[in-house]
Amino acid sequence: MNRVVGVVWSGMLIVTAAGVVPVVVNLLRRLRAAANNIERYSAEILASGVGIAGHTAHTTALKDTLSVAPQLLAGARSIEGHAAAIERALGSDAGSDAGKADAAGAAGASPAGGAVRP
């Protein structure tokens, strides 16, 4: 009976070496390839995240600008009020001349009537 056990054991060892080991090696290679892909994709995700963080860093500056906007608007209204007061003080002729100059400038002509060259 020892001889039969030895033959069966040897046969199973050969089947294991010839059949199971190559399958396990193939599975390990596939596992390694998947791990390498995960590592590569993780590096790409990190680079993308750093880029996104860099692009969104300016939102704090935008918040600062938005917090100052009411003060800028108040300043613009004050300037507009002072400009109207100056216009009233100089009389209606200055206001109409300024309107003509603005219209001439918008039409591309100089106040003297000549064309403005770029």
Name the percent of the chain lying above pLDDT 70: 76
| 3-class DSSP assignment, residue 115 | strand
Main-chain dihedrals φ then ψ at residue 114, nearest 5 degrees: -85, 155
pTM for the full predicted model: 0.44
pLDDT mean over 59-87: 89
The torsion angles phi and psi of 91, rounded to 5 degrees, stand at 100, 175
pLDDT score, position 82: 92
User: Do the Cβ atoms of 58 and 64 come closer than 8 Å?
Assistant: no
Q: Is the CB of residue 101 less than 8 Å from the CB of residue 111?
A: yes
pLDDT value for 96: 55
